Amino acid sequence: MSRDETARPAVTRATLADLPLLVPLFDAYRRFYGQAADPAAAAAFLQQRLRHGDSVLLLARGDDGEPAGFVQLYPGFSSVRIARTFVLNDLFVVPSQRRRGVARLLLEAAEAQARELGAVSLSLSTAVDNHAAQRLYASAGWVRDTAFEVFRRAL
């Protein structure tokens, strides 16, 4: 089977049993954003999210069962729409799996999961200089917000 004919990775909702597969991905994701490697802290953080159900983690695996990437959604609510929303907070694809459609597949799975859980919208943000991600999001039907400015305050 050629690389182009390779089956698409499977995406499943992660459970505590998936923690050993998620931790290296999550730690690599954090390192990408300039954080020091800390697998123990990554494991504790993800374990809390999974144990308490306060995020939705989706895991992509290749044909060989090896992790290819993940996405993490955090729940929120819209007072105006009186409905559930989700923030797509984290998306990471293993470098060897990039440019194979894994990120798009994770976006599709995130949308399906959010719909299944009754959400009316998904939102995400990315670095202003992450043009590759911006192109992906636009090509997948995401729309840049032009109505609101985002402000942050560190605590």
Domain layout of the chain by residue ranges: 10-139
pLDDT, position 2? 45
Q: Which of 89, 46, 97 has its CA nearest to residue 71?
A: 89
What's the whole-number mean pLDDT along residues 39-48? Answer: 98
Does position 3 have pLDDT exceeding 90, yes or no?
no
The closest of 56, 75, 90 to 121, measured between CA atoms, is 75
pLDDT > 90? residue 150 = no
- Cβ distance 45 to 53 under 8 Å? no
Percent over 90 (pLDDT), the chain: 86
| Fold type of domain 10-139 | Aminopeptidase (3.40.630)
Q: What is the pLDDT of residue 122?
A: 97
Residue-wise pLDDT for 52-75, tens only, equals 999 999 999 987 889 999 999 999
What is the pLDDT of the chain when averaged over all its residues?
93
Has residue 7 got a pLDDT over 90? Answer: no
Residue 65's pLDDT is 86
- 41, with CB counted inside 10 A (0-12, 13-18, 19+), is middle
The average pLDDT across 36-54 equals 97
pTM of the model: 0.90
